[in-house]
Structure 1
Amino acid sequence: MRRTPTKKGPSNSTSSSNSSAIDQFRSGGRPATKEFEFIDQLYHSYAKNSSGIIDPEGIEHLCSDLEIDHTDVRILMLAWKMQSEKQGYFTLEEWRRGFKSLRVDTLNKLKKALPDLEKEVQRPSNHVNFYSYAFQYCLTEEKQKTIDIESICQLLELVLGSVFPPQVDSFVQYLRIQSDYKVINMDQWMGFYRFCNEISFPDFGNYDAELAWPLILDNFVEWMRLK
């Protein structure tokens, strides 16, 4: 139960106190500032009343208003910009961080910022960070360290398919027909990113299996050469 603060001197009216308390609750326990006024208003139009957090239903609503599908990679890019920790959920702090970084405070401005966000993610210095984040974002259970093959295939197509189409298409095809691996870990995930950036494809002329590549990539290259 919320405490009523003790004040010296004359107290404000009951309605004023209640309004102030509601504003403080809605701003995540801190008094709302002018800087976040419109950002917070937009957040609460999608947040669940009971939890004060944007959940998967709220994100679908946001996607609908942005006129993009909820599986669109730009939503993942937005989560990356917010540094969202839990898949399918945005906290007020994450929302503020993302909107402030994008320099937007309305839905209209967010729509217009999406193309620039895509360009930002595609910069090499950012893309490796985004690629790593995408894996971590999909670890939905406590202490989870791996992701099942089918989810990995979908994630690869989403975050890397437009950058390295032949490599991703071939690797996804291999992952779906092989039977040695049921899950993929972070080391294997990042190894494939390095593979795409460093190895000539599809001849694999500079691939050296003696180097520290994940075994799954040795198997993939062998499979490709036998095709």
Structure 2
Amino acid sequence: MRRSAASKKKSDSVTSATTDLFRSGSSKATSSKEMDRIDHLFNQYANSSSNLIDPEGIEVLCSNLEVSHTDIRILMLAWKMKAEKQGYFTQEEWRRGLKALRADTINKLKKALPELEKEVRRQTNFADFYAYAFRYCLTEEKQKSIDIETICQLLDIVMGSTFRAQVDYFVEYLKIQNDYKVINMDQWMGFYRFCNEISFPEMTEYNPELAWPLVLDSFVEWISEKQA
């Protein structure tokens, strides 16, 4: 006896629902196994007392990744994790970053770093990364500025490969001037804007009457005198 169209439709619907349920269960099982491997990797580097990957653990991680602890990609990895405290990764931060990178082994993480760098260097992401780099280096809760020596190192790591000349000149200026002992976020972001908006070394677009941080006014004046 031929099945009615309604009966066939109901049967197909049940089959489809069963398939979706199977796929959902399979996906959850895969995701669970992936997270188990990510947690296992975390435990290899974490301090068992604090349940944090601390500076010593990060040093071992860098060694296994075959990169220096000053390599910009380690800072990019912290950005991907949304790590809050410099030199430390919590398990939640580690999970967030490695899941996003689909890296549940050290080899997968190593292979993910070049793609992570491409992602960060996209114009839509780099400004956020640049601001994050400053916040990440604030070592105390109420700290709002960073000492000149650290700023010079951070500028070299974060911006050196993209704006070499600007960074070299600004670092030289910061090291010889006596007006500023620290740099705040507004000044830090001002230099990013300077690199992206002002041609260098001509600087014809620079107008001190606009809302530039005073440290950049002094920097431009110093360069002008240096080039005269």
TM-score grouping bracket, smaller chain normalisation:
0.7 to 0.9
3-state DSSP of counterpart to 2:146: strand
Partner of 2:139: 140
| Counterpart check, 1:61 vs 2:57 | no
The CA distance in 2 between the partners of 1:144 and 1:162, in whole Å, is: 28
Is the contact made by 2:73 and 2:113 (CA closer than 8 Å) also made in structure 1?
yes
Matches within 5 A, 1:10-159: 33-159=32-158
Q: Match of 1:195, as an amino acid? A: F
Partner of 1:178: 177
Is the contact made by 2:34 and 2:104 (CA closer than 8 Å) also made in structure 1?
no
Q: Which runs of 5+ in 1 are unaligned?
A: 1-31
3-state DSSP of counterpart to 1:155: helix
The CA distance in 2 between the partners of 1:172 and 1:104, in whole Å, is: 36
The CA distance in 2 between the partners of 1:202 and 1:35, in whole Å, is: 50
Q: TM-score, normalised by structure 1?
A: 0.85
Q: Match of 2:213, as an amino acid? A: P
Deviation at 1:34, TM superposition (A): 2.6
3-state DSSP of counterpart to 1:147: strand
Deviation at 1:104, TM superposition (A): 1.2
Q: Match of 1:121, as an amino acid? A: V
Deviation at 1:35, TM superposition (A): 3.7
Runs of 4+ with >2 A deviation: 32-35
The CA distance in 2 between the partners of 1:53 and 1:206, in whole Å, is: 48
Is the contact made by 2:82 and 2:93 (CA closer than 8 Å) also made in structure 1?
yes
Deviation at 1:109, TM superposition (A): 0.4
RMSD (Å), alpha carbons? 1.0
**How many equivalent residue pairs?**
196
CA shift digits 1:101-133 (9 cap, x unpaired): 111111000000111111111101110000000
| Counterpart check, 1:168 vs 2:167 | yes
Q: TM-score, normalised by structure 2?
A: 0.85
Q: Match of 1:132, as an amino acid? A: A
Q: Match of 1:172, as an amino acid? A: V
CA shift digits 1:131-181 (9 cap, x unpaired): 000000000012000000010000000000001001001000000000000
Partner of 2:221: 222
% identical aligned pairs:
71
Q: Match of 2:132, as an amino acid? A: Y
CA shift digits 1:187-224 (9 cap, x unpaired): 00000000000001101101000000000000000000
3-state DSSP of counterpart to 1:197: helix
3-state DSSP of counterpart to 1:33: helix
3-state DSSP of counterpart to 2:112: helix
The CA distance in 2 between the partners of 1:139 and 1:177, in whole Å, is: 23
Is the contact made by 2:103 and 2:109 (CA closer than 8 Å) also made in structure 1?
yes
3-state DSSP of counterpart to 2:178: coil
Q: Match of 2:113, as an amino acid? A: L
Q: Match of 1:126, as an amino acid? A: N
